[in-house]
Amino acid sequence: MFNKLIGKSNRELTGHSYFSMMNGFTPTFTKFGDDVYESDVVRAAIHAIASNAAKLKPKHIRRIDNNVTPQNSNIERLLSVRPNPHMNAYDFLYKVIAQLFSSNNSFILIQMDGDKVSGFYPINASNSELVELNDEMFVKFRFSNGKGLTVPYSEVIHLRRFFNNNDMFGDSNAPLRTSLELLHTSNEGMINAIKTSAFLRGLLKYTGMLKPEDMKRNTEEFVKDYMNVNNNGGIAAIDSKAEYQELKNNPVVADKDQMEFLEDKVYKYFGIHKNIVTSKYNEDEWNAFYESVIEPIAIQLSLEFTSKLFTEREKGHGNEIIFEANRLQYASAKTKISLLKDLAPFGMFTINEGREIFNLAPLKDGDRTIQTLNVVNSDKADEYQVGSKGGDDDDEKGNDPTTTDDEHPSGGED
């Protein structure tokens, strides 16, 4: 399956060398040793971002003189329906964004069938390195199963996060290690505290003299009978030959505020609020999340897809891939009603755009704008106001644009 779907894009290189970097780094990217995605807090944060970013709608447009024309091309159909045989559009974007935030690098292979794009495949490689041959850059992927893939960098869509130290790759999530270790230690401490509190802890003090083997046997019997998971009541019964002295065991665990502080540190690292993760956000919190997290992803996707899918000539003719979302779907009902009430009379929405805001199905003839008669085109304002198409021209000809009683068309009074 690998050879059938992805392997056919593989290139065999001989005599290549590492791509030269300005900062002296070796152009190799390896995933962070301790996978941050294994943390439940990290996974919840990434899921909140990826699941919302996956709602972005890809579109192929042509932008000429500020006029945008939808193209409805093969590329748009692939990206909006099924980028490859094993993923629908939502799964594809979810995986791409999840990889981006898990390792700060995300790669998408553009599969070509001749001159036509035939698919898009997220590349989940354990190691990536840039090499050059004959002044062309290639990227070599190594997978955990031992297979490899080498393709021209121009055929790979590369998304980066925390793009600072390395000239080509995003930095690792190493700064997150301390917070995750603290969270892990706190969780382990809580688990151990629960286990410890489930058992008796104390000393058996015998009133008489016992042989060491008898003392050992009695202790083992006491442990067997009372200090196990079957002793649900937590009570032991002993006779007058021995006295049980309890040892106080008060394990120290992180309290609620400390746990929330550690979780908030992780959420801040990903730029989101806890309410986004728990789906308790209000309109303002959603708008902040969209503008600070989702919109930058949409811009990055748009720029990278446009750059890698079109030639310079095609881009010169205004071809673009954009990723957009209807932000108003997440606004409150009060905001939606107020917005349509204030802007629809000016012809700023089509009927179907207004219905989409309220999650209603489009109408057959709904792709048209309507507006109130209380507003007029600025080019027609003079004609509308004074009843003359000439305006200032009439004044230059000596014609008074106003009417008198004698000149009134009806011959009567105003």
- Say if CB 141 and CB 149 are below 8 A apart: yes
Could you count the other beta carbons within 10 Å of the beta carbon of residue 171?
Answer: 17
Give the C-alpha separation, 316 to 308, whole Å.
14
CB-count burial class (<10 Å; 0-12, 13-18, 19+) for 264: middle
Please count the other Cβ atoms lying within 10 Å of the Cβ belonging to residue 11: 13
State the burial class of residue 138 (Cβ atoms within 10 Å of its Cβ: 0-12, 13-18, 19+). buried
pLDDT of the residue at 1: 59
Q: Under DSSP, is residue 122 helix (H, G, I), strand (E, B) or coil?
A: strand
For residue 413, what pLDDT is reported?
A: 47
Average pLDDT for runs of 10 along the chain of length 414: 62 59 52 73 95 93 87 93 94 96 94 90 90 87 86 93 90 88 77 61 70 79 68 63 67 73 92 93 89 94 95 94 75 77 81 80 83 72 64 50 47 46
Residue 148, strand partner residues:
142
pLDDT score for 412: 47
* Alpha-carbon distances, residue 410 vs 165, 385, 403 (angstroms): 82, 19, 11
Q: How many CB atoms lie within 10 A of CB 406?
A: 6
Q: Which DSSP string do the residues of 45-91 spell out, in sequence order? A: HHHHHHHHHTT-EEEEEEEETTEEEE---HHHHHHHT-SBTTB-HHH
What pLDDT is attached to residue 289? 93
Q: What is the pLDDT of residue 217?
A: 82
Return the pLDDT at 7.
59
**From the CA atom positions of the chain, what is the Rg in Å?**
35
Partners of residue 404 on adjacent β-strands: none
pTM tops 0.85, yes or no: no
Token pair for 273:
């609020």
Give 132-172 pLDDT, tens digit per residue.
Answer: 888 889 999 988 888 888 999 999 999 999 999 888 899 98
Q: What CA–CA distance (Å, rounded) separates 61 from 318?
A: 8
Rounded to whole angstroms, the Cα distance separating 110 from 307 reads 12
Neighbours of 172 (CB within 10 A): 20
Distance, in Å, from the CA atom of 378 to the CA atom of 375, rounded to the nearest integer, reads 9
